[in-house]
Amino acid sequence: MNFPVIALRGLTILPGMVVHFDASRKKSIDAAQKAMMSDQKVFVTMQKDSEIEDPYAKDLCIYGTLVRVKQLIKMQGNIIRIMVEGLERCRLNGIIERDPYLVGDIEFLPRKSVSEEIEYCRQEAMVRILKEDLDKYSAEVSNNKQAIAHMMTMKKLDELLNQIGIIIPFDPESKQRMLDAPNYEDLYLIAEELLRREAAINEIKKEFQKKVKERIDKSQKEYVLREQMKVIREELGEDSSNTQDADEYEKQANALNAPDSVKEVLLKEIKRFKAIPNGSQEGTVSRNYIETLLELPWNNCTQDNNDTIHAMNVLNEDHYGLEKVKERVVEYLAVRTLVHKGDTPIICLAGPPGTGKTSIAKSVARALGKKYHRISLGGVRDEAEIRGHRRTYLGAMPGCFAKALKEVGTSNPLILLDEIDKTSSDYKGDVASALLEVLDSEQNNQFKDHYIEVPLDLSKVLFIATANDKSMIPRPLLDRMEVIDVTSYTENEKFHIAKDHLIPKQLERNGLTADQLSFTTKGLQKIIHNYTREAGVRTLERQIAKICRKVVREILEQGRGKVKITETSVEKYLGMEKITYNKANTEDQVGIVRGLAWTSVGGDTLEIEVNVMPGSGNLQLTGQMGDVMKESAQLALTYVRSVASEYGIDKKFFEENDIHLHIPEGAVPKDGPSAGITMTTAILSAVTKQKVYADLAMTGEVTLRGRVLPIGGLKEKLLAAKMADIHRVLVPDENRSDVSEISTEITKGLDIVYVKNMSEVLGQALL
Ligand code: ADP
């Protein structure tokens, strides 16, 4: 049959497709218009070479499609948009006419029906394979999903193949191959190959896109960051090149007053730094290291003032009392000057808080003309805080000693190791052993800080340590130190410290003059006695500061000229009295004995109570006692049992009765052996029902056979006894020498009785 022919460029239309294409060639437009006027049918086929303007039969693909022209739309510039619907696969047997448009001899060539051509199972297999391929394809491609989902529901092979040709955007040549396929088997093979190829291409495409995107993202991010850094540097007025900085460092390194070995390391690092690209992480690490080394004092020292008389004057100027401590410190300094080396052991000032330990160390620094730096060791657990981190760690820092030297800028400062008893060890290493290296004069001229790497010389540093409780200092450290005890202050000492030091200091701090605010003796004594209860003078200083602040406000708000703090006006500034003291009992009682205790914050009295009740010989202990104290209680009971017969107690007594021993203020933990004689006396009194003197207190360790052993912290204990209005105190005989060292201010009014054994104790205590 003859039909008008339109030659398509770069387009294959398959049966079933509804597409539009634009025609500009006159012959194509005429053919379409002719068809529109008759039965609307046109044969379309692809040109083999789309460059050819006026194709002949040989230039056209033989297989094409008979289409129905559905619409012609006139576009701009002689172009017609033709909308067609593919009808049937046909073959072009030849061109019959060429003018005014092509007319071809067209033969209908439908394929054999699929059921005739391929048996059912094979068909089914092909459908399944095609669907699998489609599935893979749709995973790689994001468009056409709906159409593909629809295809997945098709059951017939021919339908599926036709749809694949229509929906999947194969290139025109591929579609032409599908059109050329003489039967469904061939069509299937082509379709499958095309599908797979398409899926593979899309996969590769995606991979490429991803790689390219990553690359772009990374380089873009770096670019943006670098640009930002540049702007920041410009804002800060910094040069962005390492070379210039490196040159500057090099100059500084050459001028540095340091051992050659240090300079060598430094110059090497600077050279490395020069080569590192600007702005990199490594550059920052290197820069920090160089700057740290440059800032360390190395050979820079200050001149010491070795005049011990001057030192004593300074200490006296800054501190009231503390004669023994000052003397020991000055002796220590004298020896140190004579020996010329830090071979003398390190001083450790041990005593309760607020007794002036830190402030003595500061005075020593002032006396010697040394720079002062305080390192707080309380709670330090990580060895790295002492020795620093290796530079490979992110955010690595030097240890506290290197930092201290850097800060003071001289290599012979006074470094205060505050609270050396509060360090602890954990899995991160041993703080004490690192400190040991610092304090050991044999090793500390080569102290290794992990960050600094070059050995640091700490031998010129004067170390002074402080501790609240010397028994908590790790043994090896304690061995290297000379402990000087700083003890509690008496009320009289506190009075003088306040008058001579604390009040002037606080007046100055608050911008007051001695004229504006003054304290009467009674007023100050009341503050000390009724508003503070402490070994040192910290709370006292705080209370004085509080009064100063209130007075400053009064002066400003009410225009007051002069304020005097008297016994009566104290309450106005500090509120109601805060402190009540454990006073001696007024009545002599059975089973209650007063002991004396020492704690790291001062002394106190504690009452021990014992009750006896019918039972089966158990000993019950309450009041948060530590292990040592519990053992002491056992010991006391054993002793009492061993002497029971002397006091006329029946042998069976201890089998038929329970004994309960309690120490009040049950929430406060207590420990130590020094309540031994007190517990023994209390048990014996309870058992024999003999009364104990109410105005008596005692302290001493007891042995199994009743010997009384010496105890520590006597000054604090006697002070506490005095505060509690106790008149008679039993003290171990071996503590005689300690008592002689205690000022008469404390011992005055106290009847101190020395005891050697329990029978002496009981003789004194029981009525
Ligand atoms: P510590 O280090 O023993 O805990 P501080 O040295 O911090 O105590 O002392 C607390 C305050 O008490 C400081 O202001 C200090 O000057 C002052 N102080 C302590 N003892 C005396 C003293 N004997 N003479 C003068 N001031 C003292």
Q: Whose CA is nearest to atom 5 of ligand 1?
A: 356
- How far apart are the CA of 315 and the centre of ligand 1, in A? 12
Instruction: Tell me: pLDDT of 427 over 60.
Output: no
Q: Is the CB of 387 under 6 A from ligand 1?
A: no
Residue 417, helix vs strand vs coil: strand
Distance 447 CA to ligand 1 centre (A): 32
- Sign (positive/negative) of CA torsion 281, 287, 288, 293? positive
Question: Counting Cβ atoms within 10 Å, is residue 514 exposed (0-12), middle (13-18) or buried (19+)?
Answer: exposed
Given a cut of 60, whether residue 71 has pLDDT beyond it is: yes
Asked if 630 and 673 touch (Cβ cutoff 8 Å), the reply is no
Q: Does the Cβ of 320 fall within 6 Å of ligand 1? A: yes
Give the confidence band of 341 by pLDDT, cuts at 50, 70, 90.
low
Residue nearest to atom 25 of ligand 1 (CA): 319
Residues 6+ apart with CB under 8 A from 15: 65, 86, 87, 88, 89, 162
Quickly state the pLDDT bin for 742 (edges 50, 70, 90).
confident
Q: What is the Å distance from ligand 1's center to 319 Cα?
A: 8
pLDDT higher than 90, residue 145: no
Closest protein CA for atom 18 of ligand 1: 356
The ligand 1 atom nearest the CA atom of 322:
23
Q: What is the pLDDT of residues 448-501, one digit of tens each?
A: 899 988 999 888 888 999 998 888 888 888 888 889 988 888 888 899 999 999
pLDDT digits (tens, 9 = 90+) for 187-205: 999 999 998 888 888 888 8
Calculate mean pLDDT across residues 640-669.
84
pLDDT higher than threshold 60 for residue 537 = yes
Interval between CA 749 and ligand 1 midpoint (Å): 28
Output the DSSP codes for 432-488.
HHHHHHHH-TTTGGGBPPTTT-SPB--TT-EEEEEES-GGGS-HHHHHTEEEEE--P
- Nearest CA residue ID for atom 6, ligand 1: 356
Ligand 1 pocket check for 359: Cβ under 6 Å: yes
Distance 670 CA to ligand 1 centre (A): 27
The 8-class DSSP code of residue 500 comes to I
Is the shortest distance between the CB of 297 and ligand 1 below 6 Å? no
What pLDDT does residue 660 have?
93
Closest atom of ligand 1 to CA, residue 359: 6
Give residue 507's pLDDT band: very low, low, confident or very high (50, 70, 90). very high
The stretch 382-394 carries a mean pLDDT of 85
Residue of 286, 411, 459, 674 with catalytic role: 674
The Å distance, Cα 7 to ligand 1 centre, comes to 108
* Mutational test site, ligand 1, from 502, 537, 543, max ligand atoms within 8 Å of CB: 537
C-beta 322 within 6 A of ligand 1: yes
Pocket test for ligand 1, best of 501, 508, 600, 743 (most atoms within 8 A of CB): 501
The CA-based dihedral angle spanning residues 676, 682, 687, 689, taken in that order and rounded to the nearest 10 degrees: 150
Q: Measured from the CB, is residue 177 less than 6 Å from ligand 1?
A: no
| DSSP 8-state symbol, 413 | -
Q: Compute, in angstroms, the gap from residue 155 CA to the centroid of ligand 1.
A: 98
Q: What is the pLDDT of residue 638?
A: 92
How big is the chain, counted in residues?
A: 767
Which residue among the candidates 175, 263, 670, 717 is catalytic per the annotation? 717
Q: 316 CB under 6 A from ligand 1?
A: no
**Average pLDDT rounded to a whole number, residues 664-676:** 77
pLDDT score at 8: 92
Tell whether ligand 1 has an atom less than 6 A from the beta carbon of residue 93: no
Distance from the CA of 494 to the center of ligand 1, in angstroms?
10
Set out the domains of the chain in order of their start, with CATH numbers.
Answer: 2-108 (2.30.130.40), 114-204 (no CATH), 243-295 (no CATH), 308-485 (3.40.50.300), 491-574 (1.10.8.60), 589-765 (3.30.230.10)
Check if 674 is active-site.
yes
pLDDT at 688 over 80: yes
Q: Which atom of ligand 1 is nearest to the CA of 360?
A: 6
* Ligand 1 pocket member 357 (CB < 6 A): yes
User: Dihedral (C-alpha) 404, 409, 414, 418: value to the nearest 10 degrees?
Assistant: -20
Q: Is 352 in the pocket of ligand 1 (CB under 6 A)?
A: no
Tokens of 127: 């459908």
Ligand 1 contacts CB of residue 321 (under 6 A): yes
Cα of 537 from ligand 1 centre, angstroms: 7
For ligand 1, say whether the CB of 353 is within 6 Å of any of its atoms.
yes
What spacing in Å lies between the alpha carbon of 369 and ligand 1's midpoint? 20
Ligand 1 in contact with 355 (CB < 6 A)? Answer: yes
Q: How far is the CA of 355 from the centre of ligand 1 (A)?
A: 5
Residue in 348, 355, 359 to alter for ligand 1 test, most ligand atoms within 8 A of Cβ: 359
Whether the predicted pLDDT of 425 surpasses 80: no
Across-strand partners of 485?
A: 350
Provide CB contacts within 8 A for 295, sequence distance 6+: 406, 409
> From the alpha carbon of 349, which atom of ligand 1 is closest?
3
Residue 426 has pLDDT above 60, yes or no: no
User: Is 538 close to ligand 1, i.e. is its CB under 6 Å away?
Assistant: yes
What is the distance between the alpha carbons of residues 461 and 416, in angstroms, rounded to a whole number?
A: 10
Condensed to tens digits (0 to 9), the pLDDT of residues 13-63 reads: 998 889 999 998 989 999 998 888 888 999 999 998 888 888 988 899 999
Question: 326 CB less than 6 Å from ligand 1?
Answer: no
| CA of 497 relative to ligand 1 center, distance in Å | 9
Residue 238 pLDDT exceeds 70:
no
Atom of ligand 1 lying closest to residue 351 CA: 3
**Which pTM was predicted?**
0.61
Backbone angles phi, psi at 122, to 5 degrees: -65, -40
CA dist., res. 504 & res. 511, Å (int): 11
Percent of the chain with pLDDT over 90: 29
- State the distance from the centre of ligand 1 to the C-alpha of 320, rounded, in angstroms: 10
Counting from 1 in the atom list of ligand 1, the atom nearest the Cα of 319 is 24
Say if CB 305 and CB 368 are below 8 A apart. yes
**Would you say residue 284 has pLDDT above 80?**
yes
Tell me which residue has its CA closest to atom 15 in ligand 1: 356
Q: Whose CA is nearest to atom 22 of ligand 1?
A: 319
Give SS3 for 418.
strand
Binding site membership of 493 for ligand 1 (Cβ less than 6 Å): no
Q: Whose CA is nearest to atom 24 of ligand 1?
A: 319
Q: How confident is the model at residue 600 (pLDDT cuts 50, 70, 90)?
A: low
Q: What residue owns the CA closest to ligand 1's atom 19?
A: 356
Atom of ligand 1 nearest to the CA of 361: 6
| pLDDT for the residue numbered 372 | 94
Tell me if 696 sits within 8 A of 765, measured CB to CB.
yes
Q: How confident is the model at residue 610 (pLDDT cuts 50, 70, 90)?
A: very high
**Pocket of ligand 1 contains residue 418 by CB under 6 Å:** no
Average pLDDT over residues 512-536: 88
| Segment 398-417, tens digit of pLDDT | 999 999 999 999 988 999 99
Give residue 536 CA to ligand 1 midpoint distance, Å.
7
433: exposed, middle or buried (C-beta count within 10 Å: 0-12, 13-18, 19+)?
A: middle
**How far is CA 302 from each of CA 120, 344, 412, 460, 757, rounded to the nearest angstrom?**
105, 20, 7, 11, 58
Mean pLDDT is lowest, of 242-246, 278-282, 687-691, for 278-282
pLDDT of the residue at 349: 93
Residue nearest to atom 26 of ligand 1 (CA): 319
Q: Two tokens at 759?
A: 């029978």
Q: In the predicted model, what is the mean pLDDT of the chain?
A: 87
